[in-house]
Structure 1
Amino acid sequence: MGQLIAKLMDIFGKQEHKVIIVGLDNAGKTTILYQFLTNEVVHTCPTIGSNVEEVVVRKTHFLVWDIGGQEALRSTWSTYYSNTEVRRVPGLGDLGRC
């Protein structure tokens, strides 16, 4: 009986989430993503387009889309919103640009 419950928990206990990180350029979106992924500070270059990574915390899987923040890319942000949990990282010095 215990093995059956453990097996069911393995099947149904997993959670998956889609997350997008959008914000202005140079706000730290990619740094946050890779710090979660590697548990260390990573030096990054500006994102052209997007980065997609799977981050696993315990049994919870996060498919994380890090979308570039350059002005030319902002009009594409809405195409990523479907079925996601949205997080936004504004640059504190750039609040007037939001």
Structure 2
Amino acid sequence: MDDEEIPLTRSEFELLAALMQSGRRVRTKADLALLLRGESYVTSHFVSEADKRGIEVHMGNLRKKIGESSATPRWIETVRGVGYRLTAADD
């Protein structure tokens, strides 16, 4: 399955790309919502709770597609109350 192609929506792809670019740095739900709108790093735009919930839904769908568990994350770690980041590399 490691070399299997997984179809992602544009939003899922952009979220995954953002996390990969950020490495272990936490990306907030608000930051990710702005990114999906094309307004990344703009602090003057409002991000609603519905926008943040949308990020949670997209992230849940992405996790299902890549076989990820939020309880025991292999690739994407939830930082409770903040956002998401990549998990630490196995040494």
Structure number with greater Rg is 1
Structure richer in strand, relative to its length: 1
Higher relative contact order (CA 8 A, sep 6+): 1
TM-score, normalised via structure 1 length: 0.26
TM-score, normalised via structure 2 length: 0.27
